[in-house]
Chains A and B, each alone.
Chain A
Amino acid sequence: MTENSMLTDLYEDKLKELEKKAEKARELLIPTLLEAGSGHSAGPLDMADVFTAFYFHILNHDPKNPDWEDRDRLILSNGHICPIRYVSMAMAGYFPIEELKTLRKINSRLQGHPHRTALPGLETTSGPLGEGLSQAIGIALAAQIDKKKYYTYVITGDGELNEGNIWEAAMFAGKNKINNLIMVIDRNNIQIDGFTEDVMPLEPLREKFEAFNWHVLECDAHNIKQFVDMVNEAHAIYEKPTVIIAHAIAGKGVEFMEKDFHWHGKPPDKAQAKEALKELRTLGGKIRSEHE
């Protein structure tokens, strides 16, 4: 386990290892979605690099002791992308990889949207959008009261920024300068009904958060090195809460899913899963970012 505050340097070989893990996560994700027979594809695929960075480099955590009181907290607000969280947790050792097959089925700990008391290692129950930032604020406030040094990270979707609750929470965090809280926005530009800028424009997103007294960082969600650098920078910001707008390609890694909002809320069928896996396996550990 690493000490809090600054993360250990991400050397070339560690970075390569993380990139391979992210690819492995995508490979595990496709059959998991196929087996579940319902659920979401685009979000989980595009957050594979961010989740890998969290579980294998950023988080100060212990999969064998998920209730460890000094652990960093990772809150998933847009609960529908939980398949990638489950995959990352299984890879990190929270539960057997075999269990991924139970996603969305009866008697499973892997609920269709994450439920805190069902699976050790989940910090909140989520799914209904717009509620994760507030919950993360509560956890960060508890850390401040208890003088704990852990960080609270919260991942939100971009479509869910339509919810008023997000802006109530953003006002509160800005007012109270909650600096042990880091928000990551999965900025993949899609939501169920279409592209975010058509459904309900979010831009200028940076300026919106700045106006709410947040420190705003932006990065490529598929560039693990850049993302880790941003988290490091966020740790150095003491006077404000920080949000990292992580620009993502929806469905990243499977070309026929990329940037297509129709893949927001459905799983691949058998043939599509086969095609997706073939594509992923030819990537050879490299998720190339179009932002680079």
Chain B
Amino acid sequence: MLNPKLKLNNKLFKPDVETAPTRAGFGSGLLSLGETNPNVVALSADLTESTQAHKFAEKFPERFFQTGIGEQNMAAIAAGLGVTGKVAFISSYATFSPGKNWETIRTTCVYNEANVKIAGHHSGIMTGPDGATHQATEDIAITRCWPKMHIYVPCDSIESHKATIASADISTPVYIRYSRDKTPIITTEETPFTVGKMQDFWITDNPQVTIFATGYLLYYAIVAAKELEEEGFPVLVVNVSTIKPLDEDAIIRFTGHTGAVVTVEDHQVDGGMGSAIAEFLAKTNPLPMEFVGLQNTFAESGAWQDILKKYNMDVPAIKKAVKKVIKRKGI
């Protein structure tokens, strides 16, 4: 069942569940920060409306900078602002920022410890019809390897709003990963959100497997958990809203009594959230693990739901991974 302590959306399994894109939470969060923190500035590389930065830009034009289609310039200007007392948010599609401008961010923001927040939009395969050129499926891997980074991947628009606001309290670079299309709203305003903390969204008696899910695919993991429970396979589902710093205590706590793990992410399995958890468990308590995500392949054009199905990242794929890992527990 949904963890009652977390005050999650009780309409989650209803056909009329509210939906919104996580990028909407960036737009509202940034606007809210603009009102409360005069040092917050924002930059956009010709994608102001689709990244939802336009709400801030319209209200605070003196604190908004349009860099045109130049993601390296955007990142390094933000670094200059970030070392001069500003909290600089840069937003673009994740394939371009932190993709195209990776080294610029590495040197001028991360190593330089500049107060820059990198909003990576249209992440994962959700840019569907645009094709794999615009599907950012490596961004977690390429930011996770940077020392002292914070990486947040909100599961819905409400958590996205909270994560955006929370990022401004960190004085060093934060990468926040947003997605484009509407997905079910899992949390409520009352659901607690703390940077660096994982939470067990779906709980059960005697779970056999722990599913760690990040981003909007958390909803799919919860649906899979509900169906699995009805089929006699109780599982725990954990929301990994912060990938770095990794909530190591929570990983120990949530896997101690299950002894098997499935990770779910809209990302390459190489270097992503699943890898982060596997690296930690390998050092502490190695467990059988299955990884749901893109498996050594780019995706392709198509409706994103069709891509999830074809590339084994949907509810049946998650259930299959759970059943597979349960079998491996006995070996």
* A139 lies within 8 A of B81 (CB): yes
The prevalent SS among residues of A at the interface is helix
**Number of chain A interface residues as a range:** 20 to 34
Q: Is B86 an interface residue when CB atoms closer than 8 A count as contact?
A: yes
Q: A139-B81, A141-B77 are in contact. Are A127 and B112 (CB under 8 A)?
A: no
Count chain B CB atoms within 10 A of each CB in A117, A135, A139, A171 and give the residue with the most. A135
- A142 cross-chain contacts in B, Cβ below 8 A: 80-81, 84-86
Q: Is A95 an interface residue when CB atoms closer than 8 A count as contact?
A: no
Q: Is A213 an interface residue when CB atoms closer than 8 A count as contact?
A: no
- Bound Cα distance from A146 to B62, whole angstroms: 11
Q: A117-B112, A117-B113 are in contact. Are A134 and B72 (CB under 8 A)?
A: yes
Q: Which of A138, A169, A172 contacts B78 (CB 8 A)?
A: A138
- B83 cross-chain contacts in A, Cβ below 8 A: 116, 123-124, 135, 138-139
- A128 cross-chain contacts in B, Cβ below 8 A: 103-104, 107
Q: Which of A116, A127, A141, A143 contacts B113 (CB 8 A)?
A: A116
- Bound Cα distance from A206 to B290, whole angstroms: 60
- Which residue in chain B gives the minimum CB-CB distance to A138? B80
Q: Is A158 an interface residue when CB atoms closer than 8 A count as contact?
A: no
* B68 lies within 8 A of A136 (CB): no
Q: How far is the CB of A151 from chain B (nearest CB, A)?
A: 13
Map CB proximity to B onto A167-195 as digits: 1 under 8 Å, 0 otherwise.
01101100010000000000000000000
**Number of chain B interface residues as a range:** 20 to 34
* B112 lies within 8 A of A172 (CB): no
- Bound Cα distance from A176 to B104, whole angstroms: 22
Q: How far is the CB of A177 from chain B (nearest CB, A)?
A: 13
- A134 cross-chain contacts in B, Cβ below 8 A: 72-73, 75-77, 79-80, 104, 108
- B9 cross-chain contacts in A, Cβ below 8 A: none
- Which residue in chain B gives the minimum CB-CB distance to A127? B107
Q: Which of A124, A140, A172 contacts B70 (CB 8 A)?
A: A172
Q: Beyond the given A116-B113, A176-B65, could you list 17 further A-B residue pairs with CB under 8 A, ordered by the A residue number? A: A117-B113, A124-B83, A125-B108, A134-B72, A134-B79, A134-B80, A135-B83, A136-B80, A138-B88, A142-B84, A145-B41, A165-B73, A168-B73, A169-B73, A171-B68, A171-B70, A172-B68
A-B contact pairs, 11 of them (CB 8 A): A117-B113, A124-B80, A124-B112, A131-B107, A138-B76, A138-B78, A138-B88, A139-B84, A168-B70, A172-B67, A172-B77
